[in-house]
Structure 1
Amino acid sequence: MTMTYSISDLARELDVTPRAIRFYEEQGMLAPERRGQERIYSAKDKVTLKLILRGKRIGFSLAECKELIELYDPTGGNQKQLQTFMKKIAERRAQLAEQLLDIEQMQLELDTAEERCLAAMSKTHA
């Protein structure tokens, strides 16, 4: 028998809200089976949700996560998905490196502003 999950089971297991799961469903990223009003999620849905959450944690947009999920093709060894993932990882690393430089520059500017404030304050107390 294949493993299935209710929305609350999946939410609890992956530490996400049922609302978030419904959102990903609305975005066309999850397609649970329906039994009346009840959603029945498959093991594939669980893996997809894990991929979405991992992608979001490393800074991928929802569109990027969706693109990667749509490239899933186990018959082809997932080569296209993996190559695309590697490209996106490189792009994300470049973005982070740029942000790090921006942060370092901002810290230097804050240091300069702080030194000027301290110098101005020491002149008024002298």
Structure 2
Amino acid sequence: MATTYSISDLAREFDLTTRAIRFYEDMGLLQPGRSGPGGRSRVYTPRDRTRLKLTLRAKRLGLSLSEAKELIDMYDSPRDTGPQLRKFLVVLAAHRQQLEEQLAEVQANLDEVKVHEKEARALLARTDKAALPAGAAGKLAGVAP
């Protein structure tokens, strides 16, 4: 008998909720069979398990679910791998460009935060120095008043 998985099996294996797996099914990423009375139980095949694994990998890379589905469907088709790989490279290059732009924005924000931290420290040092009694600032600095 072929290996099959229940929704709970996959949820446990991939640390997902069953609701998340049903969502991926609704998005067309998984197509489980049905069993039991009235077809109420989902039965996942090794193909479904692989598609779920690829979906989660694409998600970690930051691809949208529609991009993930398009790429996964492409690999399921019996077409030539050359066009598939070219399409995959186009999607990855576009995603890399987007991530590089986000990284540049984050770096600019981080640089700005560092400037504000430096300014706040300088203001705090001046405020603390001004709050000391007369002559105390010089003593702290090791200088006679």
Q: Would you call these one fold, judging by a TM-score over 0.5?
A: yes
Q: Show the 5 A alignment for 1:1-126.
A: 1-35=1-35, 36-73=39-76, 75-126=78-129
Unaligned runs of 5+ in 2: 130-145
- Which contiguous aligned blocks of 4+ residues in structure 1 show a shift greater than 6 angstroms? none
> What is the total number of aligned residue pairs between the two structures?
126
More deviation, 66-75/114-123:
66-75
> Quick one: percent identity of the two aligned structures?
47
Cα distance in 2 between the residues matched to 1:79 and 1:3: 31
| Cα pair 1:6 1:41 within 8 Å, conserved | yes
Cα distance in 2 between the residues matched to 1:26 and 1:77: 28
TM-score normalised according to structure 2 size: 0.78
Unaligned runs of 5+ in 1: none
Cα distance in 2 between the residues matched to 1:13 and 1:125: 56
> Higher RCO, 1 or 2 (CA under 8 Å, sep at least 6)?
1
Q: Report SS of the residue matched to 1:4.
A: coil
Q: Report SS of the residue matched to 1:16.
A: coil
Cα distance in 1 between the residues matched to 2:24 and 2:45: 15
Query: RMSD of aligned C-alpha atoms?
Result: 1.6
| Cα pair 1:71 1:78 within 8 Å, conserved | no
Cα distance in 2 between the residues matched to 1:8 and 1:97: 37
Shift of 1:3: 1.6
Shift of 1:30: 1.1
